[in-house]
Amino acid sequence: MEQRFAAQNLQAHPTAFQTRWQAPSNIALIKYWGKKSPQTPLNASISFTLANAVTQTQVRFSPKEEEDQKLSFSIQFEGVVKPDFRPKIQRFFDHILPYQPFLTAYHIDIESKNTFPHSSGIASSASSMAALAACLVDFEAQLAPMSEEHRLLKTSFLARLGSGSASRSTQGPMMVWGKHPVVSNSSDHWATPADNIHPIFTDFCNTILLIDKGQKQVSSSLGHKLMHNHPYAEQRFDQANNHLRDLLPILESGDLEAFIPIVEKEALHLHAMMMTSDPYFILMKPNTLQVIEHIWAFRKDSKLPISFTLDAGANVHVLYPNSVAKEVSNFIDNQLLSFCEQRQLLHDRVGTGIKKY
Ligand code: PMV
């Protein structure tokens, strides 16, 4: 039990309370892949917080007539009751109840929607868990006032128990999650903003190319599990931590030439882990590789600092500084759009994290 986040003796509020928070998705540059129980990472990671790919969540807490020590909730997504979302939310509540035991005194109605297309393959667990955690912590702050710093840390802490990467969606522009020797305030239990980010990265662009909108064949949870007994696990965790150590000064200096190889290596090594696990699997699609080759050729010809990263899926995240957005946007329209499913993409950029809406 993390004593710092315990909330044992709060008096239940006799009246209903309602709150609405939005949280963005994030894209990791140094990838988290492999965890131990309860949801602690086996290496440190860092991500860009996004601005446009957002989940908006409204939660209503209604006091129960009689407390029964049982958690009771309903969940609607984009106006539709979603029984298939219940198991994940139930597991989330099971994990967080020790830190918010007062929740059993209420019935909790959750209504959520995304600003990005549903089933687009864009990870929505980060934004949805962070938005829900923000609502829960806001409610706790009504029962017992807390500092802004504590509110943000607790939101990250609870979000992490729903989905590891969700811990990094609370603030921006870049968030570190996982204990790392060169990041003094880093923790396995919550994410914190990376210090001294060069201005070139604070409005960095990320265009998400929707290569394959279908359901992933292998979930992230299974992928994380397959890092146990993985032949390259230890090397991978060391490598990610070394990449983070090397990337931090680059994020301070704004050196894009040094940024690109680390970020692209991370994306490909993440997928290399999938291809070398037992059982092995491939989440990239032929069009993922086509896009990567086009990005490399364009970078060589144009000398523009464009690069890519990948999530646990087939979609490609194209990364570039805002100063070259026009040229890159033309390149994407002319050469990459035809590789996207139904020519769909999402222009996003670095953002600031959770907020009330
Ligand atoms: O948060 P999860 O359990 O869905 O795992 C996310 C894993 C990656 O997106 C592949 C990497 C990362 O650090 O976000």
Q: What is the pLDDT of residue 217?
A: 81
Least confident of 43-47, 220-224, 249-253: 220-224
Residue-wise pLDDT for 56-88, tens only, equals: 999 999 999 887 889 999 999 999 999 999 999
**Band of residue 5 on the pLDDT scale cut at 50, 70, 90:** confident
Ligand 1 center from residue 26 Cα (angstroms): 9
Arithmetic mean of pLDDT over the chain: 95
Q: Average pLDDT in the 26-30 region?
A: 98
For residue 270, give the ligand 1 atom closest to its CA: 10
Q: Average pLDDT in the 312-325 region?
A: 97
Q: Average pLDDT in the 326-332 region?
A: 98
CATH topology assigned to domain 204-349: Alpha-Beta Plaits (3.30.70)
Looking at 190-255, list the stretches that DSSP marks H as alpha helix, in order from N- to C-terminal side: 199-202, 220-225, 233-253
Q: Could you tell which of 30, 220, 273, 284 is best to mutate to test the pocket of ligand 1, judged by most ligand atoms within 8 Å of the CB? A: 220
Ligand 1, atom 9, lies closest to the CA of 311
- The yes/no answer on whether domain 2-196 falls in CATH 3.30.230.10 is yes
Residue 128 predicted with pLDDT over 70: yes
Q: Please tell me the distance from the alpha carbon of residue 168 to that of residue 330, in angstroms, as a whole number.
A: 31
Q: Average pLDDT in the 107-136 region?
A: 89
Q: Could you tell which of 25, 27, 29, 31 is best to mutate to test the pocket of ligand 1, judged by most ligand atoms within 8 Å of the CB? A: 31
Structure tokens at 277: 């696990």
Ligand 1 center from residue 31 Cα (angstroms): 7
* pTM exceeds cut of 0.85: yes
**Band of residue 205 on the pLDDT scale cut at 50, 70, 90:** very high
Q: Which residues pair with 262 in a beta bridge?
A: none
Q: Which contacts qualify for 84-93: CB closer than 8 Å, 24 or more apart?
A: 88/125, 88/162, 89/132, 91/162, 92/129, 92/132, 92/161, 92/162
For residue 35, give the ligand 1 atom closest to its CA: 3
Among residues 326, 305, 303, 306, the alpha carbon closest in space to that of 317 is found at 306
Q: Where are the domains of the chain?
A: 2-196, 204-349
- Say yes or no: CB of residue 311 within 6 Å of ligand 1: yes
For residue 163, give the ligand 1 atom closest to its CA: 1
Q: Which residues pair with 314 in a beta bridge?
A: none
- Say yes or no: CB of residue 33 within 6 Å of ligand 1: yes
Q: Average pLDDT in the 140-156 region?
A: 95
Q: Please tell me the distance from the alpha carbon of residue 311 to that of residue 307, in angstroms, as a whole number.
A: 14
- Say yes or no: CB of residue 49 within 6 Å of ligand 1: no
Residue-wise pLDDT for 221-247, tens only, equals: 999 999 999 999 999 999 999 999 999
- Say yes or no: CB of residue 130 within 6 Å of ligand 1: no
Q: What is the pLDDT of residue 222?
A: 94
